[in-house]
Chain A
Amino acid sequence: MLKLRGVSKIHLAGEVQTRALDKVDVDIAAGEYVAITGPSGCGKSTLLSVLGLLDVPNEGDYFFEGQNVAGWSEAKLNALRRGKIGFIFQSFNLIEELTVFENVELALEYTGTPAGERRRRVEAMLERLGVAHRARHRPSQLSGGQQQRVAIARALVAAPGMLLADEPTGNLDTAHGDEVMRLLRNINAEGTTVVMVTHSPAHAAQASRTLHLVDGRIVVDALQAA
């Protein structure tokens, strides 16, 4: 599904160059559950950005579903991403001005889905994640766990082939964190590729494969025992 060859990414901060990714080669097949781990500043989030077509590498090739997308414009990446990738963030990134329902519907707004169909799918997804009764509330009226479930509903409502999660349990207590991990496992079991950045060895252990990064290089690429 995804293939990275010699991908490097350099961040520029003033005159200081930071090599966030250094000649990374990795293949991720459809249906895999991959955890990315490593110390702070090792390039985990950058790798996730590149995988999610949010950032373009400075060097190397990136094959997304067989197409080399290196050097594509943001508009083209935008079109390619539409409906195919879902995102979950540590800080939920819900929009306070929109209701729970509207936050989830946002993921379908640009996919050309008709309004009736959007409504049906959003309701079904909120139902599935157990937050349907909160549909008309604003995000700030929800608990942290509920907010992350809404964020997951938003990530899944367009039925993307791949879900990218950046520290999805970072802002949650243990109980809510475990619940989110269980959801991710279920999603993966249904066939969705999941790539997750995490600091937690316990959560990483739930994935089928772990990539451990140090200084922008993959130093460990290990399959978990099932």
Chain B
Amino acid sequence: MILRDFRIGWRLLVKEPAYSAVVVMGLAVGFATCFLLLGYVVHSFSYDRHVPERGQVYRLMQHWNIFAGARWGDGVSLPARDAILASGQPLLASAMISREVDVRIGSKVQTMDVSVVDPAFREIFQPKVLAGDLATTLARPNALALTRETALKLFGALDVVGKTIGIAGQSYQVGALLEDQPAATTLPYATLAGTRTSIWNAEYRELVTNNWGSSHGRVYVKLLPGADGAQALAALRRTMLASSFYQRQSPDQIASLNGRDMIDFRLGPLADAYLDPLIKGSNPVHGERKTIFGLAAVGLLILVLAATNYVNLATVRTARRQREIAMRKVLGAGARAVSRHFLAESVLVCLVATTIGLLLAWLLLPVFSDLVQRKLDHIFNPLALIVSLALGALVGLLAGAYPAWSAIKVRPTAALAGRGNSETSGGLRLRRVLSVLQFATAMGLTGLTLGVAWQTRYATSLDPGFDPNPLLIVETAGDMRNANVSAFRDALARIPGVSGVAISNVPMTTNINTNSMKREGGTTVSVSWFRISPEFFGIYGLKPVAGRLYDPARDRPADEDKIVINEAAVRTLGFASAQEAAGKSIDVGNGNIKQVIGVVPDIRHVSAREEPQPTMYRLGLQTGVFTVRTADREGVQRAIEALWPRYFPNDVLQVRRMAALFAQNYADDLRLAKLLAASSVIATAIAAFGIYVLAAYSVQRKAREIVLRKLYGAGSAAIGRLVAREFLALIGIGALIGLPVSYIALQRYLAGFTEQAPVGAWTLAASLLVALLVALGSTVRHGAGAMRIRPVQALRE
């Protein structure tokens, strides 16, 4: 291609600004969508690439065999770390236990994530230290290392080494400033502290350090040269089997394991951490291969649709430019010159569109990042921009090939005589096939979007078993053994408009504790448990199915001998009925016997993806999450905000609505629905545009037929039908291709839910209707134009 071809191409673009704007913007939107989606895919496959010698770094994973349905997880205990370190193999190991803490700087209180790590963390991950000394910082109990981002967030500056931060009334010194990690990391941290840190109180330290059953964080292992991972795991297993934790098991528990160990361990490569299907759902920094490939396919499909439109439009224009092409040929242009000319035009259009598309993508990046919940600023790097422009040029060459071929086929004599002003039947068929694919895609995506949105709406509106609307949730860092927390409870209860306060160890939507349980003569099963105050069931408005529930007048908050179980637990434990369960004694582990005083209906702690969990409710003072019942949520929230600093001046207050906590379960589904909705709108717009062009061409091609039909008395309706018939057929075939695929995809999505919305076929019918309306809207202008053609034109041929 020589410069002159580009120059002529540019002149043509400028000469027909409306045509050029439509073509370029259509392609630009396609490029922008494709860039963002593929950027996200590249991001998803680049996790933890920055970790030095990543191939040697592993996550220590564990699997509990005593719980039916338990899954592999990244969370392991510190005794496991100690055991693998003592294996004698040449390896490094570091725990990483992250918690949110409230920090005070001057008069400002903020929430910050603190990750407690071992000294080996520094050797394994080699964080870049910008100032200070990381080794010393991790060795001191009252020092912290901040990342650049955290330093800016807390202090608004980077000269933070030596400054102090208040946590729970104690002072901590900033000992090091670290470079931020790349966004694609499965071990994000904002602040690092060593395992000797004073942030852990004695009780918590005891809990995480010595208990094999306590998995509060992760352990990373780096195998050094000569290390044998299998040997290290074997040593870990031997230590576990010899531990007092293991030895304390009851004969029943050992029997229920059927010869397996209580806990299995494995080393999961760090390289697989982000996409590891074993830990799906247990880690917020996790991606699903299926979703990522699905988005990549949608991105490429949208680009193909946009390019298809360009081919359509350019071909139609080539048909209109036959005289020009004929003249070029008469004047000596060969096939090579003609094709070069058309390809240059196409490449130019695509490069302009790519540039605008990149600009659009840049503008849309914040919205897109929010939708996929990932930081993606780094996808705009020089390599990505160069690859995008190269892809743009390639699309230009491919999309320009057909119009160029059509131009080569123009016969000068016929074209100059005004004949042959139409394309071949093969070309027409090709463009019809492309339009069918456009509509199939648009309809398929629309159907899927409607299904996902409908299911999300259905799941969020499921009855949780109680009315969440009058309930506010307030979390404190302490529990009711603390006089201050207890005083806060009394103050909450005195707020005008508050009809009651209940306390639990965690919010009802957070289900993190499980326990083994066994009825007399039954097998050991796993149940979740909540620790609650006696007021709990009254505040949540729950009535007993059998026996009685806790009653503040009869039960003391610390009475640990009685338990209440739900109906799912009745079934799991193997009782014939709730009545049979009430009053029975249950072994809740190691011979610890509790009495079931009553059975409560199942309430929905978890999302509609899971069956109601068998659950045990026990009393106790280790509770610090308040549920406040009120009819005046706004007024009471304001009163709590006024009250909070008097009791917890160093902590950040978070008042949440119970109903909003439920909605959080479906935040990912809502985001997926929004992503799909955006993609369907783009695909539908592109298809609409494609059919608009096709309609224009169709009317132009059929002008003579329309005139003659009018000459013999065809009315407007007959002409309208003639124009619409072609597109109805295209949409019909598109529906036959796109809707079944959409149906299958939706069924696969719904299979993940135990509670499925009765979707039926309405989403498919609706997407067909949308396609028909869009087609009607796109053809109406040309249809009306066809109706207005005056029959006298037949005489002016």
Contacts and interface: CB of A to CB of B under 8 A. Distances in A.
Nearest to A158: B712
Contacts of A98: 705
Contacts of A33: none
Indicate the member of B712, B714, B716 with the most A CB atoms within 10 Å: B712
Prevailing SS type, chain B contact patch: helix
Interface string A27-69: 0000000000000000001001100001100000000000000
B791 A75 contact: no
A110 B713 contact: yes
B794 A87 contact: yes
A55 B792 CA distance: 6
Contact of A166 (B707, B715, B795): B795
A48 B716 contact: no
Nearest to B712: A107
Contacts of A82: 712-713
Contacts of A87: 711, 794
B718 interface: yes
B712 A91 contact: no
Contacts, number: 61
Q: How large is the interface on B (under 10, 10 to 19, 20 to 34, 35 or more residues)?
A: 20 to 34
B712 A89 contact: no
B704 interface: yes
Nearest to B701: A97
Given A54-B790, A54-B791, A166-B795, A106 B716 contact: no
B792 A49 contact: yes
Interface string B692-717: 00000000000011011111111110
A93 B713 contact: no
A168 to B, nearest CB: 12
Contact of B709 (A54, A97, A106, A158): A106
A218 to B, nearest CB: 19
Contact of B795 (A48, A110, A111, A158): A48
Contacts of B796: 45
B792 A81 contact: no
A109 interface: yes
Given A82-B713, A83-B713, A109-B712, A95 B704 contact: yes
Contacts of B714: 78, 109-110
B792 A54 contact: yes
A171 to B, nearest CB: 11
B791 to A, nearest CB: 5
A97 B716 CA distance: 21
Most chain B beta-carbon neighbours within 10 Å: one of A45, A98, A106, A166: A106
Contact of B797 (A54, A55, A93, A107): A93
A79 interface: yes
Contacts of B711: 54, 81, 87
Contacts of B710: 78
A100 to B, nearest CB: 14
A203 B792 CA distance: 24
A65 B711 CA distance: 19
Interface string B777-797: 000000000000011101111
B718 A93 contact: no
A127 interface: no
B706 to A, nearest CB: 10
A110 B706 CA distance: 13
A110 B716 CA distance: 12
Interface in A64-105: 74-75, 78-79, 81-83, 87, 89-91, 93, 95, 97-98
B114 to A, nearest CB: 76
Given A45-B795, A49-B795, A82-B713, A74 B790 contact: yes
A111 B708 contact: no
B205 to A, nearest CB: 85
Contacts of A93: 704, 707-708, 794, 797
Contacts of B791: 54, 78
A97 B796 CA distance: 21
A109 B704 CA distance: 17
Contacts of A89: 794-795, 797
Interface in B371-404: none
B715 to A, nearest CB: 6
A98 B709 CA distance: 12
Contacts of B712: 82, 106-107, 109-110, 158
Contacts of B709: 106, 109-110
Contacts of A158: 712
B708 A78 contact: no
A78 B795 contact: no
A81 B794 contact: no
A188 B694 CA distance: 44
A110 B718 contact: yes
Nearest to A92: B797
A93 to B, nearest CB: 6
Given A95-B704, A95-B705, A97-B705, A111 B713 contact: yes
A193 to B, nearest CB: 18
A214 B797 CA distance: 22
B707, B711, B794, B796 interface centre (most CB from chain A within 10 Å)? B711
B519 to A, nearest CB: 80
The 8 A-B residue pairs with the shortest CB-CB distance, nearest first, are A82-B713, A110-B713, A54-B792, A95-B705, A107-B712, A55-B792, A49-B792, A91-B797
Given A54-B711, A83-B713, A110-B718, 19 more contacts: A45-B795, A49-B795, A54-B794, A75-B715, A78-B713, A78-B715, A79-B715, A82-B713, A87-B711, A89-B794, A89-B795, A90-B797, A93-B707, A95-B704, A109-B709, A109-B712, A110-B709, A111-B713, A166-B795
25 contacts: A45-B796, A54-B790, A54-B791, A54-B794, A55-B792, A78-B710, A78-B714, A78-B715, A79-B713, A79-B715, A81-B713, A82-B712, A82-B713, A90-B797, A93-B797, A106-B708, A106-B709, A106-B712, A107-B712, A110-B709, A110-B714, A110-B718, A111-B713, A158-B712, A166-B795
